[in-house]
Amino acid sequence: MRARILLMAATTAALGALALPGAAAASPCEVTHTDGAGFTWSLDEFGEAIDGGKSGEAGDPYGSITDGFPLVTLAHAGDDPFQGGSSYVTGSTSCVPAQGAQETVYPPQALVPNVPEVTLTRRVYVPATGRPFARWVDTMKNTSSTTRAYDMLLFGSLGSDCGTSVASTSSGDGLLTRVDRWVTSFDSQAGDDTCTQALFSANPDDSTGLPLAHNWDGPSTPPDRLDAFPTPFNLTFDPGGTPMVEYRDIVLAPGQAVSYVHFEAQSTTVANNVFNANNAAKGIDGEPAELWAGMSAVDRALVRNWCIGDCDKDSAADASDNCKGVANPGQLNSDNDPNGDACDGDDDNDGRSDALETELGTNPRSPKDAAPRVSKFTAPKTAKLGRKVTMSAVANDDYGVRRVAFFAGDRRLCVDATAPYRCKWRFGGKGTRILEAIATDAIGQVGARARKIKVTP
């Protein structure tokens, strides 16, 4: 397959910026890592896997896993990445080993000629012990002074070629769609040369491609997830063995960097043993901590398509985050209930929503907007019929008293909006009255105090 990808790049003008150079002399960027299960991962100078498997495995040199996957290409949002994009195709020899030489760090490279303002750095990690997998971290940075949006494409070819079949998907339906986070593949037609795709007279499959797990997005709700599995030139995943994963509208502010992470896993040398591949994909989908070995807190915060234990990127681990999925820096929680302020509709737990309090002008994070209090209500115990008497009230409220109304039974006698609150009234009939001073605050809450007065002849 790799020879055919090279041929396609060389003979198709549309792929101009994506053309892959021919074989180069071995360099620090061309390495082979071995995972914890003994599977090898051979990388070329672009950080693509070009071979793998185990010693003694059947198949040709490019038949065990991939023939060059993944190549990463970036285009300005909306542009065709095959015509207006540029790929990470550095021939540099300045790669640096890390994590006990189990990780290869590829150098920053400007994506010329079409996206020169973006630099891309790639890291490929294969742990020597524990869960077997290979991890790619692609970090892009906007070096310009303008905010731009980009589309990113990861693509290449699998060793299973036109015999590629889907074994399982994260959605469980066996159909690869954009709702899926992972897929497992295997070679169902080893030796079959009948699959034909655009630009090729044949798509030879003269090897036994092994079952693989391909995980590109995390299981929670990361800030970004893949948008499409494009099929330009009729290059398909099933049966063509050409996976393409596209993320669209990645917005980068000046100087901003973001990372996208994906995993590949080998699990068996038995061509049709998809059970092990399915378990490998599910294990990675569980986000065990070992997936993120060697990544600092800064590295993890840049990742857009996995949560890495902090889905909302507020530096609070999901296990203890009081607003999972909603950034709540500092874990602010004004009312100390289970929900932090960023995801609590009533931050002070006073029964009024934050939206209502904002509209009313009260503080949504302070419970001090209690009902007003009439602390004192003065009126004579008796009053002569037809003579004016004076009533007064002392009222307080944390946001201010709007008015005090004086009532005798259901009849409103006076309203005073200024302290000291007073009412003068002549009672026209003898008998006992129930007087009330009712204070109202800025948000319509009331407080009252009552007393009796006896009107005599």
pTM exceeds 0.85: no
Q: Are 212 and 198 in contact (CB under 8 A)?
A: no
**Closest C-alpha to 274, from 217, 209, 207:** 209
Give the model's confidence band at 197: pLDDT under 50 very low, under 70 low, under 90 confident, else very high.
low
pLDDT tens by residue, 75-87: 999 999 999 999 9
d(CA 242, CA 223): 26
d(CA 346, CA 288): 35
Q: Is 418 exposed, middle or buried (0-12, 13-18, 19+ CB in 10 A)?
A: exposed
Query: Is pLDDT of 207 > 70?
Result: no
Between the alpha carbon of residue 263 and those of residues 135, 153, 280, 376, 443, the distances in Å are 5, 15, 10, 72, 55
| Length reported for the chain | 457
Mean pLDDT value of segment 396-403: 88
Mean pLDDT value of segment 255-260: 97
Quote the mean pLDDT of the chain.
86
User: Which carries the bigger pLDDT value, residue 149 or residue 12?
Assistant: 149
Angle at 321 between CA 317 and CA 322, to 5 degrees: 175
Please report, as a single letter, which amino acid is at residue 347.
D
Query: Is pLDDT of 155 > 90?
Result: yes
How many CA atoms, within 13 angstroms, populate the side-chain half-sphere of residue 123?
22
**Closest C-alpha to 165, from 211, 231, 202, 134:** 211
Place of tokens 């760090």: 105
